[in-house]
Amino acid sequence: MTTSSPTSNTIGFIGLGNMGSAMASHLCKAGYTVLAWARSPASFETLAHLPLQAQSSIEALCANTKLIALNVTNTADVESLLFRQGGIAQHAQRGSIVVDFSTIDAAAVAEFAPRLKTLGIDYIDCPVSGGVAGARAATLSMMAGGDLAAFQRIEPMLHHLGKTIRHVGPSGAGQAIKAANQMVMCIQLAGIAEAMNYALEQGADLAIVLELLQAGLPASRVLDWAGPHMVKGFSDPVSIEAHLHAKDMHMIADAARKQGLHLPLLFKTAELLDELVANGPPSQDTSRVFQIVQKHMRGE
């Protein structure tokens, strides 16, 4: 059995979806040996073009590296990978670093990190912003919470994946800022959908509406992304899948309620996205919330 330090060129990767596989690809190109484990071995069939070293178990992965990256869907997935029987907490070597690129609950992260620390494992919550396009272009924004010294040891690796990389505070701080990012983006999206629908109802040409909004103070990256979808009728390829935004907004809203916080814009936007996911195709762009807003505006 061989072991390595967190600063070596060997990294374990769990979570090889659209974003995770793109990130793993960049690490391979940068000269890293990427060990990978997946719940389903069939996952590797679509990734045959990558020089990944498939591992038979989490135990095998942990035996051969002290740097483990996660990129999975939700808080429960992360908790299971970390603390279940046969999970990372049981098998990771002392001195290991877990860098978690998933978007999960900040309060949960604040519990995970000290549990791992007692085992000699550092946990860095490092959610990313930029979507699949940013992952493929290695231009992600990355906001890392956790021990500063541990972050500094893995920072060179992060620069192969992202463009804007910041250590933002203690454990959970990265997730808190990612939550704020998702709130701004999705609440703004709902506002754009409502404004565009209002203008359309008054007989305006949506292409002209978009042009003039982009030329004025309402201009934003969210408008540049979502506006063309709304104008063209959602014929363009999906850029961000609605179920991912719905998951994030639902998670943030639930956490806010537990803290006794009243955030009406967040709560309403989460409801709209939940409705979108419940009434649309499995894979659809979040900008289709335009159609949900339109339905409510007309009392349907």
What are residue 171's phi and psi, to 5 degrees?
A: -55, 130
User: Is residue 199 exposed (0-12), middle (13-18) or buried (19+ Cβ within 10 Å)?
Assistant: middle
pLDDT at res. 6: 61
Q: For the chain, list residues with pLDDT below 70.
A: 1-7
pLDDT at res. 3: 52
pLDDT at res. 298: 86
Hey, which CATH number is domain 10-170, 3.30.450.80, 3.40.50.720, 3.40.50.2300, 3.40.50.10490? 3.40.50.720
Per-residue pLDDT reduced to its tens digit, 70-109: 999 899 999 999 999 999 999 999 999 999 999 999 999 9
CA–CA distance, 12 with 37 (Å, rounded to integer): 8
pLDDT at res. 1: 42
- The catalytic site residues sit at 178
- pTM value is 0.89
CA–CA distance, 211 with 82 (Å, rounded to integer): 48
Q: For the chain, give every domain's residue range.
A: 10-170, 177-297
**CATH superfamily, domain at 177-297:** N-(1-d-carboxylethyl)-l-norvaline Dehydrogenase; domain 2 (1.10.1040.10)
